[in-house]
Amino acid sequence: MRLKIPCFAHTIQLAVKDGLQATRSILAALETVPSIAKLAHTSTKFAEKLDLMKVSIPRAVITRWNSQFMCVKRILVISCIELNEILAQLKYKNLCSHARNLSMLQEFVALLSLFAEATTATQRQNSPSISFVAPSILAVLL
């Protein structure tokens, strides 16, 4: 009998995805993130403003929570007031962040940073990643 062990990074991916879907409060805060990221890649004016601030926002891939994580992390680098001003100037007021959503996004980054580190560590190409599994689980649990 052969024991099949699933990919640890994929297991993390599925666990976090399920957790996010079960937490409705974060879904509202995450709603504007893909639109802001898309705007960074489709609006020349928005991209220029980001370039002036030396900020780049990666595209958020909905099926990969860690791409959403990186996207949120980059958006949070920008001052909320400054981001809202830029979005309002460009007539994207619907994408402006509210204080509550900003707080939720900050919690999202704080909570999922350990999962992001574990995912990155276990996806390395040129090093054995099985040795990262137990320490990653312990870091999340403790």
Its pTM surpasses 0.85 = no
- Alpha-carbon gap, residue 123 to 141, rounded angstroms: 20
- Alpha-carbon gap, residue 62 to 57, rounded angstroms: 15
Domain ranges of the chain: 23-117
The pLDDT tens digits of the residues spanning 6-20 come to 677 777 777 887 887
How does DSSP classify residue 106? H
Report pLDDT for 44.
94
Query: Of residues 97 and 41, which shows the higher confidence score?
Result: 41
